[in-house]
């Protein structure tokens, strides 16, 4: 087992990893920017190393700064959390060359799967269903025209190295294609430093279902069940739940089997999430693999009783999986809501500021993962998520009621600070959501209907 782990991240996931390390008897080191000097991660870790100024490019996205922090602290492993450098193959390789264990997939697996077009090609070769589209990046606008003619409209252009819902442009008719192609390329370069894009058919009335897998270096592959993450804004998730409501169990089983097959084909190691779209005819299609711990991992933890972050660390330390498929027995219904500092009435514009009040909800079967506290200043330089509220109940209706109660208890105050909590309550109360007839367009529909 590791002696000391550098946490190469910030916010609630940094605090989550620090807590997992403490329970495993591992010392933790918080890598922090100047903006996070007073953070709970810094005070909660055994040590802390300042890595740079507030801007992420000079701190949390700086590979040299992270490796130097590991060397200064004497860490023997690095946990990248999610976002930032978590799916960066170069970071994993540099860590390996520096004698550090990267708590995530090997760099060659990351290189293969973080490139969405390469991942699609691999999954197609092992029989996973794909939406019609390009298996290779589009070389120019002429090729995008030819691809559009083949797959039809509407289509979506995506960044090959994309993630987090960024770098995507929907094209509903030929007139929109040139501008969307150029903008998608520009976005891909700006967000990910790689301007390559690919195209696939856009499914308008879709459900978004993902499957959590865990794999060790000895060939074991275990599926920990599915999560429905259909409620989104700008292709970024707002509400996640398990089990996926309203879908035939046989369909969910086929999706889970496809994820396991994909993990085996990629020779995956660690925690991974295979993402799928499900259309109105209950046909499913592979989208991408997230090669890291997910924001919504608590949904699976609460349902299964398995600590996913601790399991990540054990696998990276060379241990075998601590459970097999027969040990995975999800219980009840679990829902997670992301409470962000955003104003839904202004297209979810970030609304940072000073938190003059912050009181999370409590009560039975309610978990809140957060890094916030009264007096904390929310920086506009980072992701706007303030907290994740996770509830468990024996059934979905009870879980919805419990979540609405929990969101109603949440008290977040500050000049200019708005949150998504009231909007999330509207979604939970919508008849389509309650009847499990919702699609990825529900959040947009609610906002458009309010104007």
What φ, ψ does residue 370 adopt, rounded to 5°?
-155, 160
Give whole-number Cα distances, 237 to 168, 230, 250, 324, 359, in Å. Answer: 14, 7, 25, 29, 23
Q: Which of 292, 338, 396, 402 is catalytic?
A: 292
What's the rounded Cα separation, in Å, for the pair 440 and 237?
10
The torsion of the CA quartet 323, 328, 331, 336, rounded to 10 degrees, works out to 80
Instruction: Work out the number of other CB atoms within 10 angstroms of the CB of residue 412.
Output: 21
* 12 burial level (CB within 10 Å; 0-12, 13-18, 19+): buried
**357 close to 413: Cβ distance less than 8 angstroms:** yes
- Helical residues (DSSP H) of 4-82, grouped into ranges: 11-23, 40-44, 63-73
Instruction: Kindly give, in sequence order, each residue whose CB lies less than 8 Å from that of residue 414, ignoring residues fewer than 6 positions away.
Output: 353, 354, 355, 356, 357, 378
- What gap in Å lies between CA 375 and CA 107, rounded to an integer? 40
C-alpha closest to that of 159 among 116, 118, 121, 119 = 116
Q: Is 292 an annotated catalytic residue?
A: yes
CA geometry: angle at 162 spanning 161 and 166, to 5°? 155
Grouping H, G, I as helix, E, B as strand and the rest as coil, residue 46 is coil
Give the 3-state secondary structure of residue 226: strand
- Cα separation, 282 vs 436, in Å, equals 14
Cβ distance 392 to 299 under 8 Å?
A: no
The two three-digit tokens of residue 180, written as one number: 């969307």
| Residues tagged active-site | 292
């Amino acid at each position: 087992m590791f002696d000391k782990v550098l946490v190469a991240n910030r916010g609630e996931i940094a605090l989550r990893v620090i807590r997992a390390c403490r329970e495993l008897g591992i010392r933790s080191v918080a890598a922090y920017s100047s903006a996070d000097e007073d953070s709970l991660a810094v005070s909660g870790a055994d040590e802390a190393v300042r890595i740079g100024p507030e801007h992420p490019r000079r701190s949390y996205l700086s590979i040299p700064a992270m490796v130097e922090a590991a060397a200064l602290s004497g860490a023997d492993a690095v946990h990248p959390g999610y976002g930032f450098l978590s799916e960066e193959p170069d970071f994993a390789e540099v860590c390996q060359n520096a004698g550090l264990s990267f708590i995530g997939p090997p760099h060659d697996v990351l290189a293969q799967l973080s490139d969405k077009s390469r991942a699609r090609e691999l999954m197609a070769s092992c029989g996973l269903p794909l939406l019609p589209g390009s298996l290779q990046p589009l070389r120019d606008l002429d090729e995008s025209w030819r691809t559009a003619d083949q797959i039809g409209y509407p289509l979506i252009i995506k960044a090959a190295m994309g993630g987090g819902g960024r770098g995507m442009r929907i094209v509903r008719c030929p007139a929109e294609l040139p501008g969307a192609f150029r903008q998608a390329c520009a976005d891909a370069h700006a967000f990910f430093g790689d301007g390559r894009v690919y195209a696939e058919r856009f499914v308008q009335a879709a459900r978004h279902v993902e499957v959590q897998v865990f794999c060790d270096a000895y060939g074991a592959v275990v599926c920990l069940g599915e999560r429905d993450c259909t409620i989104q804004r700008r292709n970024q998730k707002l509400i996640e739940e398990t089990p996926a409501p309203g879908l035939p169990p046989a369909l969910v089983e086929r999706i889970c089997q496809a994820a396991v097959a994909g993990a085996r084909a990629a020779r995956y190691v660690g925690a991974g999430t295979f993402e799928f779209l499900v259309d109105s005819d209950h046909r499913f299609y592979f989208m991408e693999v997230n090669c890291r711990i997910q924001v919504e991992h608590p949904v699976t933890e609460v349902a299964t009783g398995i600590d996913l972050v601790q399991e990540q660390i054990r696998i990276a330390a060379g241990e075998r999986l601590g459970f097999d498929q027969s040990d995975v027995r999800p219980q009840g219904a679990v829902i997670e809501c992301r409470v962000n500092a955003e104003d839904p009435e202004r297209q979810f514009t970030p609304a940072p500021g000073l938190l003059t009040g912050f009181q999370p909800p409590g009560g039975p079967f309610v978990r809140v993962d957060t890094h916030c506290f009264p007096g904390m200043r929310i920086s506009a330089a980072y992701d706007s998520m303030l907290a994740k509220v996770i509830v468990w109940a024996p059934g979905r209706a009870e879980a919805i009621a419990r979540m609405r109660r929990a969101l109603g208890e949440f008290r977040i105050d500050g000049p200019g600070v708005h949150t998504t909590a009231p909007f999330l309550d509207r979604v939970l109360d919508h008849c389509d959501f309650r009847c499990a007839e919702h699609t990825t367009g529900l959040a947009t529909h609610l906002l458009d209907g309010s104007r």
